[in-house]
Structure 1
Amino acid sequence: MTSFGDLLGPQPTLLPGDDEAESALLNGEDPAKVAAEHPTASIAWAYLAEAAHERGDTIAAYAYARTGYHRGLDQLRRNGWKGYGPVPYSHEQNRGFLRCVAALATAAKAIGETDEHARCLDLLEDCDPHAAEALGVE
């Protein structure tokens, strides 16, 4: 059974994460430096997107979030994800990707890109029905 109770659905995808990038960020290293040194680490792009959003730079937030989202999709596919199925928020290493999707939803909403906003919310719901609430996105 999958983590969301679908007996016939795919097993949850659990990303391996990037220990070096995550450690650098937790130790206060500049997220731009971490993203440059670990460009495949969605978590670094999530930090950049969230910081850009906080300072009111919506276009930068959108760009950072989209980069992290695409890097996360690449990593998900390399780990067996077929474009659907659970990507649990409870798995810490999945959070970089999910945070980028949430940041992209927020930035898309801010610039009036309603279709993209809706797609991001749908993706979060498909990945984990609790992710949007945990990430504070609507």
Structure 2
Amino acid sequence: MGVPPTHLPAETDVLSAIANGTPVADIARTYPASSLAWALLANEANDAGDVLPAYAYARVGYHRGLDALRRAGWKGQGPVPWSHEPNRGVLRSLYALRRAAEQIGETAEVERLTDFLHGADPDAISRIDKGE
């Protein structure tokens, strides 16, 4: 029997702020525990060509995500399915950190995060690559 999947709780306030067009920096400031907010902030920095801030924002999202996963019963391994929408913030933070690590030449970190993402959900990277 395998490790059961981890399902994070919904971040309804964060999603509402996003839907209302609140600037991402304000969302991260208001909801600092949200991996999704930090992942979006990392994406904005990356899109602006600011690799080091993107790395830093993604790193915060990664750590906030680990905290959330542990609170949800995750023991350091096992599925974190993309199909469960509240998990996507953590997966997006992992992806953003992987991307920024690649841009600064941190090969070992890229490999570790690739393994982490594949272990969490084998389809996560391709889903994010497709813009889902």
Same-fold status (TM-score > 0.5): yes
Matched residues in 2 for 1:38 and 1:66: separation?
16
Superposed CA RMSD in Å reads: 1.1
Percentage of pairs with the same residue: 52
Partner residue of 1:22 out of 2, 15, 27? 15
Which residue number in structure 1 is paired with residue 115 of structure 2? 122
Flag structure 2 segments of 5+ consecutive residues without an equivalent. none
Q: Does structure 1 residue 54 correspond to structure 2 residue 42?
A: no
Which residue number in structure 1 is paired with residue 27 of structure 2? 34
Which residue number in structure 2 is paired with residue 70 of structure 1? 63
Matched residues in 1 for 2:19 and 2:79: separation?
26
Give the TM-score, by structure 2 length: 0.95
- Residue 26 of structure 1 deviates from its aligned partner by 2.0
- Residue 136 of structure 1 deviates from its aligned partner by 1.5
Aligned length: 130
- Residue 88 of structure 1 deviates from its aligned partner by 0.3
Matched residues in 1 for 2:32 and 2:54: separation?
16
Flag structure 1 segments of 5+ consecutive residues without an equivalent. 1-7
Whether the aligned pair in 2 keeps the contact of 1:17 and 1:41 (CA below 8 Å) is no
Matched residues in 2 for 1:97 and 1:115: separation?
20
Give runs of ≥4 in structure 1 deviating > 3 Å.
none
> After superposition, what is the alpha-carbon deviation per residue over 1:22-81, rounded to whole angstroms, capped at 9, x for unaligned?
110122101111111110011100110011111100001100000001001000000000
Whether the aligned pair in 2 keeps the contact of 1:22 and 1:43 (CA below 8 Å) is no
